[in-house]
Amino acid sequence: MKHVIALDVGGTGMKAALLAQDGSVLFEARRPTGREHGTDAVVAAILGFAADLADEGRARFGHAPLAAGVAVPGTIDEKNGIAVFSANLGWRDLPLRKLLGERLGGLPVALGHDVRSGGLAEGRIGAGQGVDRFLFIALGTGIAGAIGIDGRIEAGAHGYGGEIGHVVVRPGGPQCGCGARGCLETLASASAVSRAWAEASGDPDADAASCAAAVDAGNDRARAVWQTAVDALADGIVLAQSLLDPSTVIVGGGLAEAGDTLFTPLRAAVTERLTFQMPPKVVPAMLKDTAASLGAGLLAWDLLSMEVTA
């Protein structure tokens, strides 16, 4: 069975798969990233995991994987295969594609951005299947996004395309880690909701999931916190709608786990803000935490099809 290595490197864990050409998962594995041991150890763990996955493929299918796709967080130079910067994992200008290629005996390697890889997978084999223009938004510790156009993800001129988390929706609002104020992620990320709900409820351990549960239970303070996030998110989506006109907005990440508690008021808030724009379908992501790994595998298959046509 022809297969590729798909690997997603996260802040705490790595998720991997061996992927067939139709995107089906032939084998899955997870390992800790081990960032507490430092950046060199993280890089060694990535290379070691990739090599073990290649062995796994050989053992299972009698031949080596055809390529590898690896998705990493932070700033990525996809064209040159450089992991430019990750605050979380500590590297700068790491030639990860070259290192992986050497470790895997010259196998073709695609290096991708974790959120854009996740968006690619949602678009091809997840919630956006068959949709040619979509926006993927991940509501996690921060907020990130990916712009899907005709089966690929638009990374922008400098690799920052889709950064909807840093669209300012409340000028002069809360301080954002990026240096600006009032960015979408300061109001509508899972962390922002957790913070706001911890403050409003007086429970320091309160989080976004407990806020959603309190909203469902009819708690007014929770509803106010939740609506603040929903309104900010709707403002961000409407801005994106005016600019990109996607037919579908796919929302994933921790906050999307709230299901209808999020999607029902969010769809209403988006609809009431639109004037001339066509309303997008606002749908939950399907692939959950495997999206980036699957997307990395799709990048590996794309690499092979480019080599064939070149």
Instruction: Pick the closer one to Zn ion by CB: 125 or 188.
Output: 188
Question: Which amino acid, one-letter code, is at 169?
Answer: V
How many residues bind Zn ion (CB under 5 A)? The answer is: 5
Choosing from 178, 224, 243, 268, the residue that interacts with Zn ion (CB under 5 A) is 178
- DSSP string of 228-264, one letter each residue: HHHHHHHHHHHHHHHHH--SEEEEESGGGGGTHHHHH
What is the CA angle 115-121-124, rounded to 5?
A: 140
Stretch that binds Zn ion, among 101-109, 121-129, 171-179, 298-306 (CB under 5 A): 171-179
Instruction: Pick the closer one to Zn ion by CB: 178 or 268.
Output: 178
What are the φ/ψ torsions at residue 143 (nearest 5 degrees)?
A: -130, 130
Choosing from 127, 138, 164, 176, the residue that interacts with Zn ion (CB under 5 A) is 176
12 close to 31: Cβ distance less than 8 angstroms: no
Instruction: Pick the closer one to Zn ion by CB: 116 or 166.
Output: 166
Taking the complex as a whole, the smallest distance from the CB of residue 125 to Zn ion amounts, in Å, to 31
Choosing from 183, 187, 244, 282, the residue that interacts with Zn ion (CB under 5 A) is 183
**What SS3 state is found at 283?**
strand
Strands 68-72 and 4-9: parallel
Taking the complex as a whole, the smallest distance from the CB of residue 169 to Zn ion amounts, in Å, to 10
The residue assigned the tokens 């070259």 is: 98
Instruction: Pick the closer one to Zn ion by CB: 183 or 230.
Output: 183
198 binds Zn ion (CB under 5 A): no
Instruction: Pick the closer one to Zn ion by CB: 147 or 258.
Output: 147
**What SS3 state is found at 271?**
helix
Instruction: Pick the closer one to Zn ion by CB: 38 or 156.
Output: 156
What are the φ/ψ torsions at residue 14 (nearest 5 degrees)?
A: -110, 135
Residues 257-296 that bind Zn ion (CB under 5 A): none
Stretch that binds Zn ion, among 162-170, 203-211, 258-266, 290-298 (CB under 5 A): 162-170
Question: Which amino acid, one-letter code, is at 289?
Answer: D
Instruction: Pick the closer one to Zn ion by CB: 25 or 180.
Output: 180
Show the tokens assigned to 26: 């032939």
**What SS3 state is found at 146?**
strand
Stretch that binds Zn ion, among 154-162, 166-174, 237-245, 254-262 (CB under 5 A): 166-174
Give which of 62, 78, 51 is closest to 3, Cα–Cα.
62
Choosing from 15, 35, 113, 166, the residue that interacts with Zn ion (CB under 5 A) is 166
Binding site for Zn ion (CB under 5 A): 166, 176, 178, 180, 183
